Amino acid sequence: MTAVDPTLRATRTTCPYCGVGCGVLATPDSGGGAAIAGDPEHPANFGRLCSKGSALGETLGLGDRLLYPMIRCSKGTMERVAWTDALDHVAHRFAHIAKRDGPDAVAFYLSGQLLTEDYYVANKLMKGFIGSANVDTNSRLCMASSVAGHRRAFGADTVPGCYQDLDEADLLVLIGSNAAWCHPVLFQRMLANKQKRGARIVVIDPRRTDTAGDADLFLGLRPGTDTALFSGLLVHLADTGALDHDYIASHTSGFEAARARARSIAGSVGATALATGLAEPDVADFFQMFRNTPRVVTLYSQGVNQSAQGTDKVNAIINCHLATGRIGKPGASPFSLTGQPNAMGGREVGGLANQLAAHMGFSPPDIDRVRRFWKAPRIATHEGQKAVQMFEAIARGEIKALWVIGTNPAVSLPDADAARASLKKLELFVISENVRSNDTVNAGAHVLLPAQAWGEKSGTVTNSERRISRQRAFLDPPGESKPDWWIVSEVAKRLGFGAAFDFGSAADVFREHAALSAFENEGSRDFDIGALKSLSDEAFEAMAPVQWPTRSGDAEPQQRFFAAGGFFANDHKARFVAPEVPALRTETTAGRPLRLNTGRIRDQWHTMTRTGISPRLGQHLPEPFVEVHPDDALRFAVADGDFARVVTDYGQCILRVVVSERQQRGMLFAPIHWSEANASAARVGALVAPFTDPFSGQPENKATPVSIAPYEYVFRGFALSRAQLELPPHAWWTRVAVTGGYGYLFADNADLAGWQSWLRSVAGSDLAEYKDLGGGVYRAASFAGEHIETCLFVGPARDAGDWDVVKSLFAADALGDDQRRMLLSGKSIDGLASAGPIVCACFGVGRTTILAAIAAGAGSPAEIGVQLKAGTNCGSCIPELKRLIAQTNVVGAAADSGQRQFARVAT
Ligand code: SF4
C-alpha cells in the first residue's frame, strides 16, 4: 500500500467521522474539492464508505473557514492579527494566570477529531510543563465509561478484539448501539456475516432503531437496566453450567463477589424480566443464545457509555465474557465501538484528565517514568477536572483560562446553557478552530487560532480496533491555517519549553509518542508501538494502517488480547466487578413525566460544522425533531408533523414531532446535532442533565426527565437564498445546505405583511410575488439573470409549497420561461409529485419514489436497488428501505382489513 494510489493518483487518507476509521481515496479536483472513494485496501472498510464518508467531497469549501488569527480588541470586536502576536498573547496570558493562581487555574478542552500528534503535544504541554492535568476532551462524552470499565477489569484501557471478530462471530449482541446509523460500514460487515455464515444478531436498546431491523431478537429494555440484564445473564451462565472455570481460576479474581451481586440484582430469568421490563420468554431466548454460542461478540456504544452508571454497565457486560472465557478469541469478545475518529488516539496519548500519557496513570512509578522521559519540569501529580466538572470549575471561577481545540462544547455538553454561560467568566478564552463562527466561538472567545482541517492536515488516527491509520493532506491549507500540533508547540516555546517542543513535523511528534509507549515497557503496558519509533519521514509518509501493539522485535503481529489471560494488573489477572444495584439518578415526576434519550442521525455528524455544508447529507432529515410513541402523542396532544415544546429542568427546545412506534412509551428521542448556528430552538444539549458516572465522569445523556406539550404555529414556510439569511427573531427556523446555497425551513405566528417586508429587506423590492393574504399565502422570488437569487414561500399549516420542487428549481443554473412562471405555484412544472424526503443520499432517491416502487411490486432492497439504484452504493439506507417495505406491507394489510387508520408510516 502506498500513500498514493497510482491508478487513480488519489491520496490515501482516513475518514474524519466515526470510530470505524474507514480508508478514503481522495483525488483533488481543480476547484478546491476532491473526488472521494473508499480505499479497497484499507482493512477497516475494504472500499466501502457510508453516506457521510461518501459526501466528504461536498464539505471542503471555504465558506465559513477561519483563515487568520484573531484577537478580541478593546472595542469588543475580533480583529485580525499576525500569528506571532496571537501566539505571544496566548502564551503571555496563560503564563500570567498559571503563575498568579497556580497551574490548575488553566485548562485545555480537546477533541476526538484531533490527530494523535495534536493530542500528544497538547497533553504533554499541560501535564508535563504547565503542571496541571486539566486536559479533557469531548471523548469524555463519548466513551469514557468504556475506558473506565476496561481499566477496572483489565488493568488497562484495552480493546481485546478486532473487526475480524465481527466476520467470525456466530452471535452479535449490540447493546446501546445504533450501528446501522452510527457505524454503518461495520454494521454492513455484521450483516454480511449474517447472510454468509448465518450469524444471529440481538439488538438491545430502549428504542427500536434501524439496527433492530435485521435483528433475530430485539430487546426493548427500560432505560438504565442494562446492568440488570447482564447481571441476570451472569447468574444464568453460572446456574446452567456455562462458566469457564479454568479461565476464571487462572486469569481472574473477584468472581464470587460479582456473582453474588448479580444474583441480588437479577437472580433469575423472571427477576431479570421484571427489572428490565422485558418479556420473560425474550430474556430466556437471549440468555440461551448467549449461553449456547461460544463465538459471541457484545458490541456497546453510547447507549451504554452515556450514563451515570455507564462504567458498571460496561463491567456487567465484560463480566459475562470473562466468566465464559470468551475474550480475545476469534469471534468472541466484548467490543466497545468508539464514536469519534480518534477517540482511541486521544486515549493513547493520555488526553483524558484521569490519564497521564501512553496508557499510564497517576501512580508514582508512572509519574516518575513520564517525567524522566519528557524531562518535565513540573509534571502533574494528580488527576485533573473531567469535562463536566471542568466547566463547573470555570463557572465557579476556579479555572480562569481555557483553550478549546477542535470542539463545540457550548452545544455538546450537558446542561449546555450553563456550560455556555460559564465561558463568560473566563479571563482568557482561546479557541483553535476551522470555522469563524459556531456556538462556542460566539460565546465570547478572546482569541481565535485558525487550524488546518481534514484534507489539509497530516498525522495519524486510531480506530475502534486499535488500528492506526494516516490522515494525509491532499489540499493546500487555506489562508494562514496551521496544524494544531504546531500551534501548541509554538505556545510551548514561548512559555520557555522550546527544547521539549522542537517538533518540525507530525512525524517528529509521532516518533516521540511511539518511543514513550515503549519506554520502560517490557510488556507491562498494553499500549506499545515501539516498532514505529524510528520511522523515517518517508516511512511515516508511506505508513500502512497498523494495529497496536506493534513492539520492537515482535515476530508476529498481535491481533487480540487476553485469550490466555495476561492482563495488566500487578497479578496479571482480570477483575470481576460487582456493579452497584442499577438505579437512574433522577425520577420522573408529574411535571416531567417522560425521559429524554438523545443521539445521532444517519447523515449528520456532531454539531454539523462539516456535514451541515453538504446538500446531499441535508436531504435525509433536514429538521430537528423529537420522536414520540403514539400513545404518548395522544396523551400529550402532540401530532405527527406539528411542533412541540420539550422542557427539562435545564432548558427547552421547540422541535418537529415525529410519532413513531419505534419509540418506547414514556420516552422521547431527540438528535444532538442542531445548534444556535443552524436552528432557532433545537440545542438539545441544553436539555440534558449534568449527572455523571462516578468512575468515568461521563454524563447521563439518555434519561433526563422531560415534559412535552404542543406548540402551535399558524404559518409554515421556507426560504432559499444564495447567501446566508438572518430570519426574523420571532420565527422557528432551521438552516439546511441545498445545492447552490442555503435553505431555511420555518414556522411562525407573525402576519404575512411582516414576512413580505422582511423579504424586501434582504432581497430588495424587485420581486416576483404571489399574494393571497386572506388565504394566508405569500410567495415571492428575486432573480439574478436566469437563476433564483432568493425566494420565500409562506402558507398556512402544511401548504407553503413543495420544498423539494422549489429546491430543484433553485439549484438550476438557468430557469426556462415555463419554470419561472410555475415557480410561485410551488409545484412541479410537469405535474409530477416530488421525490419526497431523500432516503438514499448517494443517489438522491426520495421516499415518495421508493414508496411508489414498493407499491408497484418491489419487495426487497435488492429489487428497489435494481429499479432506482437506492441502497446500492454505501448501503446506509438499506435498513430504512426495509422499514419502508415492512411498513407499506402493514399499511396494505391494514387497508385490506379496513383498518387503515391504525397503520402509520413513520418518518
Ligand atoms: S462508517 Fe462512515 S462515518 Fe464512519 S469512518 Fe466509515 S465512512 Fe466515515
**Residue of 7 and 468 predicted with greater confidence:** 468
Report whether pLDDT(903) > 50.
no
State the average pLDDT over residues 803-816: 88
- Closest atom of ligand 1 relative to the 184 alpha carbon: 1
398 CA distance to ligand 1 centroid (A)?
A: 39
3-state secondary structure string, 776-810? CEEEEEEEECCEEEEEEEEEECCCCCCHHHHHHHH
Q: Amino acid identity of 341?
A: P
- Closest atom of ligand 1 relative to the 14 alpha carbon: 5
How sure is the predictor about 7, in pLDDT bands with cuts at 50, 70 and 90? Answer: low
Determine the Cα–Cα distance for residues 715 and 593; give it in Å rounded to an integer: 30
Q: What interhelical angle do 226-239 and 255-265 show, nearest 10?
A: 120
Residue-averaged pLDDT of the chain: 93
- Closest atom of ligand 1 relative to the 20 alpha carbon: 5
Strands 467-471 and 546-547, sheet pairing: antiparallel
Say what the pLDDT of residue 553 is.
84
Determine the Cα–Cα distance for residues 881 and 661; give it in Å rounded to an integer: 17
Nearest CA to ligand 1 atom 2: 50
321 CB-near residues (< 8 Å, 6+ apart): 296, 298, 327, 332, 333, 334
23 CA distance to ligand 1 centroid (A)?
A: 9
Say what the pLDDT of residue 483 is.
98
Cα torsion for 181, 187, 192, 193, to the nearest 10°? -150
Determine the Cα–Cα distance for residues 147 and 353; give it in Å rounded to an integer: 12
User: pTM of the entire structure?
Assistant: 0.93
211 CA distance to ligand 1 centroid (A)?
A: 16
Determine the Cα–Cα distance for residues 38 and 811; give it in Å rounded to an integer: 28
State the average pLDDT over residues 456-467: 97
Nearest CA to ligand 1 atom 6: 22
Q: Ligand 1 pocket test: pick from 14, 45, 166 the residue with the most ligand atoms within 8 Å of its Cβ.
A: 45
State the average pLDDT over residues 435-463: 96
Say what the pLDDT of residue 896 is.
47
- Closest atom of ligand 1 relative to the 17 alpha carbon: 3
Determine the Cα–Cα distance for residues 13 and 75; give it in Å rounded to an integer: 43
Report whether pLDDT(354) > 70.
yes
752 CA distance to ligand 1 centroid (A)?
A: 44
Please spell the DSSP secondary structure of 451-509, one letter per residue: BP-TTT--EEEE-TTSEEEEE---SPPPTT-B-HHHHHHHHHHHTT-GGGG---SHHHH
874 CA distance to ligand 1 centroid (A)?
A: 10
Report whether pLDDT(902) > 70.
no
49 CA distance to ligand 1 centroid (A)?
A: 6
Listed residue (440, 447, 400, 407) closest to 421, CA to CA: 440
- Closest atom of ligand 1 relative to the 44 alpha carbon: 6
State the average pLDDT over residues 834-857: 83
State the average pLDDT over residues 477-493: 98
Q: Ligand 1 pocket test: pick from 42, 50, 189, 873 the residue with the most ligand atoms within 8 Å of its Cβ.
A: 50
- Closest atom of ligand 1 relative to the 45 alpha carbon: 6
How sure is the predictor about 814, in pLDDT bands with cuts at 50, 70 and 90? Answer: confident
How sure is the predictor about 879, in pLDDT bands with cuts at 50, 70 and 90? Answer: confident
State the average pLDDT over residues 368-385: 96
Q: Amino acid identity of 822?
A: M
543 CA distance to ligand 1 centroid (A)?
A: 20
How sure is the predictor about 586, in pLDDT bands with cuts at 50, 70 and 90? Answer: confident
Say what the pLDDT of residue 279 is.
98
Say what the pLDDT of residue 828 is.
64
Q: What interhelical angle do 226-239 and 269-276 show, nearest 10?
A: 180
DSSP 275: H
Strand partners, 38: 24
For the stretch 252-283, pLDDT in tens is 999 999 999 999 999 999 999 999 999 999 99
Determine the Cα–Cα distance for residues 309 and 455; give it in Å rounded to an integer: 38
How sure is the predictor about 901, in pLDDT bands with cuts at 50, 70 and 90? Answer: very low
Say what the pLDDT of residue 849 is.
86
User: Do residues 594 and 632 touch, judged by C-beta distance below 8 A?
Assistant: yes
18 CA distance to ligand 1 centroid (A)?
A: 5
Q: Ligand 1 pocket test: pick from 183, 465, 614 the residue with the most ligand atoms within 8 Å of its Cβ.
A: 183
Say what the pLDDT of residue 147 is.
95
Say what the pLDDT of residue 3 is.
77
866 CA distance to ligand 1 centroid (A)?
A: 25
For the stretch 714-768, pLDDT in tens is 999 999 999 999 999 999 999 999 999 999 999 999 888 999 999 999 999 899 9
Q: Residue 194's CB: how many other CB atoms inside 10 A?
A: 16
Say what the pLDDT of residue 906 is.
31
Report whether pLDDT(871) > 90.
no
Give the whole-number percent of the chain exceeding pLDDT 70.
Answer: 96
711 CA distance to ligand 1 centroid (A)?
A: 36
Say what the pLDDT of residue 801 is.
81
Say what the pLDDT of residue 831 is.
54
State the average pLDDT over residues 770-776: 85
How sure is the predictor about 893, in pLDDT bands with cuts at 50, 70 and 90? Answer: low
Report whether pLDDT(588) > 50.
yes
Say what the pLDDT of residue 895 is.
47
Identify the residues whose C-beta falls under 6 Å from ligand 1: 15, 17-18, 20-22, 45, 49-50, 52-53, 183-185
For the stretch 790-809, pLDDT in tens is 999 999 876 778 888 899 89
Report whether pLDDT(811) > 50.
yes
Listed residue (419, 437, 432, 434) closest to 685, CA to CA: 419
Q: Ligand 1 pocket test: pick from 17, 337, 601 the residue with the most ligand atoms within 8 Å of its Cβ.
A: 17
783 CA distance to ligand 1 centroid (A)?
A: 39
Give the whole-number percent of the chain exceeding pLDDT 90.
Answer: 78
Say what the pLDDT of residue 579 is.
95
Report whether pLDDT(840) > 80.
yes
For the stretch 187-210, pLDDT in tens is 999 999 999 999 999 999 999 999
40 CA distance to ligand 1 centroid (A)?
A: 14
C-alpha cell at 510: 509521532
Nearest CA to ligand 1 atom 1: 185
**Residue of 543 and 812 predicted with greater confidence:** 543
For the stretch 593-642, pLDDT in tens is 999 999 998 889 888 888 888 888 988 889 999 999 999 999 999 999 99
Say what the pLDDT of residue 468 is.
97
For the stretch 529-569, pLDDT in tens is 999 999 999 999 999 999 999 998 888 889 999 999 999 99
Q: What interhelical angle do 847-855 and 878-896 show, nearest 10?
A: 50
Say what the pLDDT of residue 620 is.
87
